[in-house]
Amino acid sequence: MIKSFFIFLFFLTVNFSHAQSYAPEKSLLPVLDFSKRLSDRFYVHSTLQQIFGPSVKPTLYKYIFSKPNAFGGPCDVYEQIRPNGHSVADQMTSCFERNDTSTLPLIGRRNLLRMGYTLKACTAITNNNKAIDFALQAASLKKRDPSKIKIEKLYKLFYPFEKLDHKVETALIKIEKKHELRWVLYTLCIDPSWQVL
């Protein structure tokens, strides 16, 4: 019994207080909050286009670029050329009919909509054979490359400066062996980490 009591006291010193218990009257005013800085729609759009090629432009515009609220990235009204009152000459300068698009933050924030649109974009992209071919070419993949090399090259498309973790490599090779490389690309595409600044 006494042993149990002391073991219990030991647990007390272990961090169990991660869940927030909010008491407005007692809390100090928090001045810092930590969250990952995510890239904005311009970055996501250009990265995926670089990897998957020009055939994905419509998809990226539909699911990424035209969702500034989800991804961040303000429009620049000074860049707009308006042939008439209702449209802009370059779609990429559109504010999508909202005044506040020009005041959106440069740094994106995590939110479920962002992830949802990323899922949609990646699903559509990796269902596009031209996009897959482009990505394989961009990775300089050769048919004779062993799986390990292929995976490493595809990984580098999204993480050019990172070393491929062994567990990740094993999991991706498993995908490659059972299904097509497009599923590897799909997995890497939906992985959120490459969007972190």
Partner 1 sequence: MSNRRNFIIALGGVGGLGLAFASPLRRLLKSLMKNESQRNFSRFSPQECRNYVQINHYGGPSRWFFDSILKPTDGQPFYSNPMIVNHLQSSTPLEFDYKFHKVGNINMPYLWKFDIPSSDGGEVPMSNLTKNMMTVRGVHLEGTLGHPINCAKMVAPAPGGLSIDGLVADLSTSPIPAVTIGNTPVNRAFKSRKSTVVRINTDEENYLKYLLDPFYHPDTTSWFEDKEEIKKIVDEAIEALKESKTTNSSLYSDLSKSRQFFNETIDGFLGEYDQLVKKYKTLIERSLTSTLKGINDKPIPGLSLPLNFKGKHEAIEALGKYVLEDHFLIDKDLRNILNGASFLYLAQEFAIAEYVISKGLSSSVVISTKSEMGHFFDNTAKSFAIENYNIVKEYDGVNNTTSFAASKRFTVGNPKSLNWSLDAHNTGLIPNFITTNQFFYSIATCLNELISSFKKQTLNGKNVFDETLIHLTAEFDRTPNQFLNGSGHNEHAHVSSFFSGAIESHTVLGNIYSEASGDKAEDFDDHGTIGNAAPVGSFNGQKIGISNLSSSISKILRIEPIVGRATPFLKLKNDKVVPMIASAENIEGVFSLIEQTDD
141 contacts partner 1 (rule: CB under 8 A): no
By CB under 8 A, name the one of 88, 107, 138, 190 that touches partner 1: 190
Q: How far is the CB of 3 from partner 1 (least distance, A)?
A: 12
133 contacts partner 1 (rule: CB under 8 A): no
DSSP states of the chain = -HHHHHHHHHHHHS--TTS----TTT-----------B--HHHHHHHHHHHH-GGGHHHHIIIIIT-HHHH-----GGG---SBTTB-SSGGG--TT-GGGGGS-SSB---HHHHHHHHHHHHHHTT-HHHHHHHHHHTT--TTS-HHHHHHHHHHHH-TTSPPPHHHHHHHHHHHHHS-HHHHHHHHHH-GGGGB-
161 contacts partner 1 (rule: CB under 8 A): no
**Please, which residue, 24 or 144, has the CB nearer to partner 1?**
24
By CB under 8 A, name the one of 29, 85, 144, 161 that touches partner 1: 29
Q: How far is the CB of 146 from partner 1 (least distance, A)?
A: 18
Residues at the site binding partner 1, with contacts judged by CB under 8 A: 1, 4-5, 8, 11, 16-22, 24, 27, 29-30, 33, 35-36, 38, 69-70, 97-100, 103, 109-117, 119-120, 123, 127, 165, 167-168, 170-172, 174-175, 178-179, 183, 186-187, 190-193, 195-196
